[in-house]
Amino acid sequence: MKQRLYAFDDIRAFAALSVIAIHATAPYVTAEPVGFVWNQFMRYAVPLFIILSGFLLYYADRKKDHLKYGQFMRKRLTKIFIPYLIWTLIYTLYKMPEELADKGAEALQDVGWAFLCFLPDGSAFVHLYFLIIMFQLYLLYPALRLWVKRRANQALFISFLCTFLIQTWTYVHSVTEWLVEIPQVTRIFPVWLFFFVLGMYTAQHKEKWETWLKRNDILITFCWLISIVLLLADSWITETYGASIKPTVVLYTITSYFLFYYVCTSRPRWKQQGGGFIQWLSAQSFLVFLLHPLILTVLRILPREYGDDVIWDGTGGMLGLFAATTGITLLLTYIISFTPLASILGGVQAGKK
């Protein structure tokens, strides 16, 4: 019987809500101080998902001597490939309402061409690049697994150098523009490789760093505070508040991961095993991730269509937009979970694990 890692349910559920918060607060970062701070506080969200993926994959395979590559690929890639196809089509159709209304069936050719153009890089909507990254990391996982098993410290160090240097290069370009821009930087695996390897590394050395965290809780809290201060200062001074690819985000993500894990494992055991909403949200986090931008965009557009341009204005409007997006997304996710569509849309069908 597999041991359930309840702390990771907590972290994954929190990360899902954090992604919604990033997108909901994005239009407010320059106008609302609360929006700026809230948005920056959530910047760990996407890399944290990658860390969790690396940890959980490696932890599940840690006792296996050999990994069956074909079986692994079929299981992992189909789990995200079918939802990727469907959501790319959904967001393609969403982007082309005028063509569909004007041309009707004749627009299907245009939709098909746009769909094929969006597929290679996940450009159908702002968040789908994440699945392209996961495709690449899954393809590399068997080799990375072997590397971490044999030379864990080397894998961690080299992957950190790779990710940190590319992110620094991209950051310097965005601030000064004197370095050559790296095309499609968010969609290439080296930018995110360290986070995936970090998850694998901590899965291999789980007991050691858990013990270290318990002895150094004040230190990790202090490091987290320093990292968020650096990120806030960096984003404010350089006006890079919309970027998640920069050195300060790398540092902030690392400290957030360890702090969140410490907090979640420090809760009373009966609370960790309580199940309910947290475990449900953790299980459905992929569907929540895929669905929420559509809900958010519709909520922002609909009031304008009906002549209300101020409903989402100010701090109150921002909080309302986040609450409405979260509530509707979770409600629709809950409804979808009772249908056969759940698994192909990225969720978990009710009654299944």
pLDDT (0 to 100) of residue 82 = 92
**Which residues lie below 8 Å from residue 131, measured CB to CB, with a gap of 6+?**
80, 83, 84, 122
Q: Is 307 buried (19+), middle (13-18) or exposed (0-12) by CB count in 10 A?
A: exposed
Across the 353 residues of the chain, what is the mean pLDDT of every consecutive 10-residue run? 75 95 94 94 95 93 77 81 93 77 67 86 90 93 92 96 94 83 83 96 90 90 97 94 92 96 76 71 95 95 76 91 97 95 91 64
* Contact of 227 with 249, CB cutoff 8 Å: no
Count of helices and strands (H, E) across the chain: 17, 0
DSSP string covering 238-288:
HT-TT---SHHHHHHHHHHHHHHHHHHHHS-HHHHT--THHHHHHHTHHHH
Pair of tokens at residue 21 = 């918060």
Pair of tokens at residue 208 = 């050691």
Q: For residue 130, which of 47, 72, 52 has the smallest C-alpha distance? A: 47
pLDDT (0 to 100) of residue 1 = 42
For residues 79, 84, 90 and 92, what is the CA-based torsion angle, rounded to 10 degrees? -170
* Contact of 254 with 45, CB cutoff 8 Å: no
* The model's pTM: 0.92
